[in-house]
A and B are shown apart, each in its own frame.
Chain A
Amino acid sequence: MGKLLKIAVRNLLRYKRRTLLTTSLITLGVVFVLVFVSVTGSFKRLMIAQNTDSMLGHLQVHRKGYVASIDNLPLNLNLKAGAIGRLEKVLDAQSEIAAYSPRIKFGAMFSTFVETTNIRLNGIDPEREFQTVSLLPGRVLEGDKTLARGDIWIPELLARGMKVKIGDTVVIVATNQDGSVNGKQFKVAGVLESVSGPGGRDGYITIEDAAEVLRMEGMEISEVAIRLHDFGRLGVVSERLTGLLEQELNQQEKPIFELHTWEKLSPFYNIARMIDVMTFFMKLMLIAIVLVSIMNVMIMAVYERIREIGTIAAIGTPPGRILSLFLLEGLSLGVAGAILGNIVGALIIFVLNASHITYDFGRQKDLLLQVSLDPVDVFVLSVIVIIIAVVASLQPAFKASRMEPIKALRHV
């Protein structure tokens, strides 16, 4: 192998300019894909994290049918005490669940005594909520990062539009399930940064206050948001949980619960999918570049060296060795391109991060572009390039190994 590699590398160096051109082309392809994958991947992760870590959680459980009418926050589809107990029993048994947080969600009137508008509210247990969606406290732009009874956090746009400041008293008026209207005074304790995605412009109060406003008699919740230890295991865990929850039946022998992953709950999942599709096509293009450029070089290499091939074949070099010799040439080109591409790509990413580029996402301005280089991407790209390099050399190398020595020697 070493001896073949030596000859292969020397043959590549024999046509320096051509080798340089091909390697540059592959390098360029790898750089483009690596930077693209890293930038979009980082953007995707940020987007997903924003959705899952500030609002949705990784998974949500509702009473069956809730999500279909989630836009009007139906109070009659809340989970009652018995069901909550059964759900908690299932969730508590799962070691992969890091935290879960029960919420009461409802629509209400928000009044400053001067003006009135509507608001979507989440009644939460602050401690459990922060464990489940850890970015939530970080969204508090003004005021306290703790939410006590009698406090309300309101979204930034509402605060600005209604000219509400921290410490102001507001009234929340809501209609409960039975149709009776109730109001309660709250102190504005925090103003929340708006984020893009479902629930990004909701207000927050404690779950006890929510139950009070809605005059709930027993314990009721609208949804449970769940956070996993390992987001990468989402698919596996959601499948297992779905199975477990389907066994929880009501008196009519119908399932009580429904489980959704963030993907089903956020429109951003489609953007994430689109990024994946674009990445896939970028990789296809890279494959095409590597395939065509290496095949081209290797066909040339075999053609130019026909007499040389005839010579080594005549003196008894086994056909398999001749095949390996040319495969190694293609492989070396691929390896060189992959290594250079990854180095240059990493440098570009480093420069991108160092130059503090900012961008806007929805209502959020000046997000810092933080590109991280995923070793998995580097590995996958390198493997793709190297495999394709070998595949591209197969036909020319095979042709070289099958050459008739006499014909090859006569070739001018």
Chain B
Amino acid sequence: MQLIVAENVHKTYQVGEVQINALKGVSFAIEPGAFVSFVGPSGSGKTTLLNLIGCLDKPSEGKLTVAGVDVSSLDRRQGAAFRGEKLGFIFQDFNLIPVLTVYENIEYPLLMVQDVPARQRSERVLALLEAVGMSEQKDKFPGQISGGQKQRVAVARALVTNPALVLADEPTANLDHATAYQVIELMKRMRDSFGTTFIFSTHDPKIVGEAETIFTLEDGRLVDTQVKGEVNHG
């Protein structure tokens, strides 16, 4: 069974009198454990599509199913619950909560979204700190660590609830090349260990090369799909 199925998905924004067709009929499928990248020029609709998959927005037309759920059917509260349960998010600007330590940031989804008991919480957080190599920094605040470290914490936060899918819109845009590469490697390693599906968007051609499935968007349309070699995931 596919994790994500998009059938003729359209997204239209209404700005005053003007209609902007950000997505003009996109269809694809993504299987569990895939390591996927959406690429394309600025304005091609990558963010729009990731927002739809992330249940942060609804398609104007067509059908989008994520983990067996039609995203159009979710209301506000259900959407929040679904995201908290099934999805993880990594942001371009890291978006860690500045008043929480590294440890508390990773703990946040377990504590505030899922109400996981304390014992399990600390086990899980410590395991992820270890996995992303941030154990030493666990008591620092986001303001005290580098961008690359922040994004590693963000990866841990996205994974802590053991989601089916992690979405990352331009996760490396604010990182230098070497760090960007490390973050993508980390994501891939996490996919290998936890079997989590990763979908990210990027401009960076070198980073794109790391993806196993590459969808190319242009002007709201899917113009190319590239599947690299044998995809092997546990």
A-to-B contact residues, CB < 8 Å: 3-4, 7, 10-11, 13-14, 307-308, 310-319, 321, 405-406, 409
Minimum CB–CB distance from A114 to chain B (whole Å) comes to 88
B29: interface (CB < 8 Å): no
Minimum CB–CB distance from B55 to chain A (whole Å) comes to 9
B80 close to A316 (CB less than 8 A)? yes
Known: A316-B80, A316-B85, A317-B84. A311 touches B95 (CB 8 A): yes
B54: interface (CB < 8 Å): yes
Minimum CB–CB distance from B99 to chain A (whole Å) comes to 4
A406 close to B57 (CB less than 8 A)? yes
A318 close to B77 (CB less than 8 A)? yes
Q: How far is the CA of A370 from the CA of B57 in the complex (A)?
A: 66
Interface stretch (choices B61-69, B107-115, B186-194, B208-216):
B107-115
A315 close to B89 (CB less than 8 A)? yes
B91: interface (CB < 8 Å): yes
The listed residue (A3, A7, A307, A405) touching B56 by CB distance below 8 A is: A405
Q: Which residues of A contact B91 (CB under 8 A)?
A: 311, 409
Considering the complex, give the chain A residue whose CB is closest to the CB of B112. Answer: A317
Q: For the A-B complex with A4-B112, A315-B113, A321-B112 known, give 18 more contacts whose Cβ atoms are closer than 8 Å.
A: A7-B97, A10-B100, A11-B99, A14-B99, A311-B97, A312-B97, A312-B112, A314-B54, A315-B108, A315-B157, A315-B158, A316-B80, A316-B87, A317-B113, A318-B113, A319-B80, A406-B51, A409-B91
Q: How far is the CA of A11 from the CA of B97 in the complex (A)?
A: 10
B-to-A contact residues, CB < 8 Å: 51, 54, 56-57, 76-77, 80-85, 87-89, 91, 93, 95, 97-100, 108-109, 111-113, 157-158
Q: Which residues of A contact B109 (CB under 8 A)?
A: 315-316
Q: How far is the CA of A314 from the CA of B83 in the complex (A)?
A: 7
Q: Which residues of A contact B89 (CB under 8 A)?
A: 311, 314-315
Q: How far is the CA of A310 from the CA of B57 in the complex (A)?
A: 13
Q: How far is the CA of A254 from the CA of B108 in the complex (A)?
A: 79
A406 close to B56 (CB less than 8 A)? yes
Q: Which residues of B contact A311 (CB under 8 A)?
A: 89, 91, 95, 97
The listed residue (B57, B99, B113, B158) touching A7 by CB distance below 8 A is: B99
Q: Across chains A and B, which 5 residue pairs bring their CB atoms closest together, nearest first? A: A316-B84, A10-B99, A316-B83, A311-B95, A316-B113
14 sample A-B contacts, Cβ–Cβ < 8 Å, listed by A number: A4-B112, A7-B97, A14-B98, A307-B93, A307-B95, A308-B98, A315-B84, A316-B82, A316-B85, A316-B87, A317-B113, A319-B76, A319-B80, A406-B51
Considering the complex, give the chain B residue whose CB is closest to the CB of A325. Answer: B112
Q: Which residues of A contact B98 (CB under 8 A)?
A: 14, 308
The listed residue (B80, B82, B88) touching A317 by CB distance below 8 A is: B80
Minimum CB–CB distance from B198 to chain A (whole Å) comes to 16
A318 close to B81 (CB less than 8 A)? yes
Minimum CB–CB distance from A245 to chain B (whole Å) comes to 64
Q: How far is the CA of A406 from the CA of B49 in the complex (A)?
A: 12
A319 close to B111 (CB less than 8 A)? no
Known: A3-B111, A406-B51, A406-B57. A318 touches B80 (CB 8 A): yes
Minimum CB–CB distance from B125 to chain A (whole Å) comes to 14
Q: Which residues of A contact B113 (CB under 8 A)?
A: 315-318
Best-buried of A307, A316, A318 by chain B (most CB within 10 Å)? A316
